[in-house]
Structure 1
């Protein structure tokens, strides 16, 4: 019997939080993010008589514990040596840390309802490691999107999917970049942008289906791989998008370089209009 688990379960009951048991875990409403529906937070009995808490939206347990008025120490029946404790899911550990690399960015891919599907971490040596949520793991994640036979375990979705779907509904242009860093550069300048995980030429028809009816501008990196990637994205979007334009940075290689040079979104150079906007008399289809 886990004293810590019972302590947490009793507190959840006493505070009147919505909860249920399922899949070997106590599923609780996410009071750490506006108290949404039950099931967002998974609580399990852990090793050494402790308890493991993981919020699928926060990607960790710190905010949930704070909302309950608990600390990490409350997750253990008895004090444990620091090195034996579960590593928090939102720490800076990455698979290449053993080579002296440090995490510099993390990109979380969420589905239509905002639930985490998978994530990407980037290190200071430009290593990219993908992970998927797994509340049975000590860190709350597994560093692979596939099983041991190579079968994909998570959906293929574009980055920032909830924001992109809303932008399409609002009739806004969707910008597609080659990577998450460029997406954030575009977003920082008031644009709605997305990309696929894993870099150039990994865009698929599965990504494209989410952009049905959208007006799309593709920012092609200024190299051969960038051109190849843009051509692939165009071909997948032709059957579903309303309009497609391809542009390049006026300065540097990509969108981040373009904005870093002090340029704006109107300064991108149009290089291809494979599917012009219906009302655009200047568009030349190719």
Structure 2
């Protein structure tokens, strides 16, 4: 009986989605070593194993750095979830929620200009969000905080899907800013170029804005007070940086995901206000 190579296919799809070139040679799927900055396309070999996928970087002589670069742990290499231990569930579903019955339903990896993993956000089925940074010295390959004991940030502040954002900017495309990763993917699924910050409303910073210098930007404001305030703040950081800024809201529902789920198109968002100059209040509902 042949078992479907679930993990192998998932990894191949992930690399394709990241824009990484792959090729088959010598019985393995081969790709470049993004774990050490990239080089020849055959440095990393990916093979189907008896219960999952086997990954080996010939330059790193292992898989830890490569897995960290793509936001995976050892547990993600298995076709089926690993057995639960007495201490915690398997790494591919575990999230540090107070309720251990919560399961991971989405994972969003934030990458830098070179497609290297900076940090990630893991979402559970009860809408909890946990941020992590790569850590090769832990069993999970992650540390579940982005700051040290004194509150100092240990990772860079980058917008979500930064490599794709930079490509879109180079092609002079409009960049859409949503409040969260789910809405970003709703926009991307409809052929748009979108980004956001980690942590939801109120967490956008001037550092995020610097990556949008000279771009035409459309901000999707959630239809509530936090969403309105978030949009105002995003616009303020883009003043004098972006070429133009529009603010829109969903025609139906609260956010971009609701808007598309209701069957509307990108041209049917409600425009809240037009480009610069920036008024003090968009009058968002």
Q: Taking structure 1 as the reference length, what is the TM-score of the superposition? A: 0.72
Answer yes or no: is the 8 Å Cα contact 2:122–2:131 preserved in 1: yes
Answer yes or no: is the 8 Å Cα contact 1:32–1:64 preserved in 2: no
Q: Name 1:57's counterpart in structure 2.
A: 70
Q: Name 1:220's counterpart in structure 2.
A: 221
Gaps of 5+ in 1: 1-17, 23-27, 45-52, 67-80, 277-284
Q: Name 1:31's counterpart in structure 2.
A: 45
Once residues 38 and 32 of structure 1 are traced to their aligned partners in structure 2, the CA distance between those partners, rounded to angstroms, is 14
Cα 1:146/1:88, change in 2 over 3 Å: same
Cα 1:31/1:211, change in 2 over 3 Å: farther
Asked if 1:198 is matched to 2:212, the reply is no
- Number of corresponding residues: 233
Between Structure 1 and Structure 2, whose CA radius of gyration is higher?
Answer: 1
Q: Name 1:117's counterpart in structure 2.
A: 118
Q: Name 1:179's counterpart in structure 2.
A: 180
Answer yes or no: is the 8 Å Cα contact 1:41–1:55 preserved in 2: no
Cα 1:141/1:244, change in 2 over 3 Å: same
Once residues 40 and 170 of structure 1 are traced to their aligned partners in structure 2, the CA distance between those partners, rounded to angstroms, is 37
Q: Name 1:238's counterpart in structure 2.
A: 239
Q: Name 1:253's counterpart in structure 2.
A: 254
- For residue 155 of structure 1, give the secondary structure of its aligned residue in structure 2: coil
Answer yes or no: is the 8 Å Cα contact 2:71–2:109 preserved in 1: no
Answer yes or no: is the 8 Å Cα contact 1:32–1:63 preserved in 2: no
Once residues 58 and 173 of structure 2 are traced to their aligned partners in structure 1, the CA distance between those partners, rounded to angstroms, is 30
Q: Which has the higher helix share?
A: 1
- For residue 117 of structure 1, give the secondary structure of its aligned residue in structure 2: strand
Answer yes or no: is the 8 Å Cα contact 2:133–2:144 preserved in 1: yes
Once residues 215 and 58 of structure 2 are traced to their aligned partners in structure 1, the CA distance between those partners, rounded to angstroms, is 31
Answer yes or no: is the 8 Å Cα contact 1:182–1:255 preserved in 2: yes
| Aligned pairs (5 A) from 1:242-281 | 242-275=243-276
Gaps of 5+ in 2: 1-31, 37-41, 48-54, 280-285
Shift of 1:104: 1.1
Shift of 1:31: 3.1
- For residue 187 of structure 2, give the secondary structure of its aligned residue in structure 1: helix
Cα 1:29/1:139, change in 2 over 3 Å: farther
RMSD of aligned residue pairs (Cα, Å): 3.5
Shift of 1:85: 11
Cα 1:176/1:37, change in 2 over 3 Å: farther
Shift of 1:103: 1.3
Once residues 183 and 65 of structure 1 are traced to their aligned partners in structure 2, the CA distance between those partners, rounded to angstroms, is 28
Q: Name 2:24's counterpart in structure 1.
A: none
Once residues 93 and 75 of structure 2 are traced to their aligned partners in structure 1, the CA distance between those partners, rounded to angstroms, is 14
Once residues 240 and 103 of structure 2 are traced to their aligned partners in structure 1, the CA distance between those partners, rounded to angstroms, is 41
| Aligned pairs (5 A) from 1:80-119 | 83=85, 91-96=92-97, 98-119=99-120
Answer yes or no: is the 8 Å Cα contact 1:109–1:161 preserved in 2: yes
